[in-house]
Structure 1
Amino acid sequence: MTSLLILNGPNLNLLGTRQPEVYGATTLADIEAACTAHAKTRGISIAFAQTNHEGEMLDLIHAAKGTHKGIILNAGAYTHTSVALMDAIQSVEIPVIELHLSNIHAREAFRQKSFIAQVAVGQICGFGAIGYTLAIDAIIDHLGKKSAVGA
């Protein structure tokens, strides 16, 4: 069975209470429940992790190699600052979908730069919590195309 890792970064544990005007009222537990239900309909398994620590995110990405076929990554503020995350993604050679609840391109200038985008399959941003299920579908589609060409 195909397994995906959904990895959430700093402050995402506060979803539902942190700036609901930007990030919505949905909690991380709500997102995980929606993703689990959606994954079941797609015949895949999902593992979830959330950390506020960059080094732990690196360790989780490294550990995904050989365990998960893809990663959905909401790196939070580390998106805009972490060359280390970019390098880790490139090193494990696992397809990654970059995900953001808000539209980072319509926000402050510093949020419009993504180190993750350079090594991700694609980016989903601005759709709120539904972005997670969109990302699941996108990574499954990508993995299917990759298998079809023998990669």
Structure 2
Amino acid sequence: MARKSVLVLNGPNLNMLGLRQPEIYGTMSLKDLDQICVDAAKDAGWTADCRQSNMEGELVGWIHEARTDFDGIVINAGAYTHTSVALRDAISAAETPTIEVHLSNIHKRESFRHHSYLTPVAVGMICGFGAHGYVLGIQALARMADE
């Protein structure tokens, strides 16, 4: 049986982790976060391919790729969460189990962050647990695949 794989996507400004607003997003770098995801996937018997882009179209293309090349997606779309119908439609079209994650609790922040275009097409959403939210998302995908 082929090993399952998860595509971990990070959207705009997440390349600035560890530098941008550490009081909200922490001091961990994106490289550190990627390693946490690789390790969590390995613990679940999966592999992880971690990618980041500040460009909406590139994220859309990667989500399309997931339809045939990945068993699940964990996505932190950053600000695109609250603005992108294109990402919502891509997730819907990919027909690949998707978990939405956010490092901070978006519901405790500015009101414009309370709405997500992705949540209605995601299996679930995890927010407010920092990097551990990604681990929870990967674990959730692995459990769903086993059921």
Q: Bin the TM-score by the shorter chain.
A: over 0.9
Show CA shifts across 1:72-95 (max 9, x none).
Answer: 000000000001110010011001
SS at match of 1:47: strand
Residue type at the aligned position of 1:76: G
Corresponding position of 2:95:
93
Q: 1:38, 1:121 → 2: CA distance?
A: 19
Q: How does 1:43-122 map to 2 (within 5 A)?
A: 43-122=45-124
* Greater mean alpha carbon deviation, residues 24-33 or residues 112-121: 24-33
Corresponding position of 2:23:
21
Q: 1:119, 1:37 → 2: CA distance?
A: 27
Q: 1:33, 1:81 → 2: CA distance?
A: 28
Q: 2:42, 2:97 → 1: CA distance?
A: 20
Does the 8 Å CA contact 2:40/2:139 hold for their aligned counterparts? Answer: no
Corresponding position of 2:12:
10
Whether 1:123 and 2:125 are equivalent positions in the alignment is yes
Q: Which segments of 5 or more consecutive residues in structure 1 lack a partner in the other structure?
A: 146-151
Show CA shifts across 1:110-141 (max 9, x none).
Answer: 00000000100000000011111111101111
RMSD, matched Cα: 0.8
How far does residue 36 in structure 1 lie from its aligned partner after superposition? 1.4
Q: TM-score, normalised by structure 1?
A: 0.94
How far does residue 105 in structure 1 lie from its aligned partner after superposition? 0.8
Residue type at the aligned position of 1:81: T
Q: 1:71, 1:50 → 2: CA distance?
A: 13
- Poorly superposed stretches of 4+, deviation over 4 Å: none
How far does residue 4 in structure 1 lie from its aligned partner after superposition? 0.5
Residue type at the aligned position of 2:55: H
Show CA shifts across 1:28-78 (max 9, x none).
Answer: 111111121222222111101100000110000011111100000000000
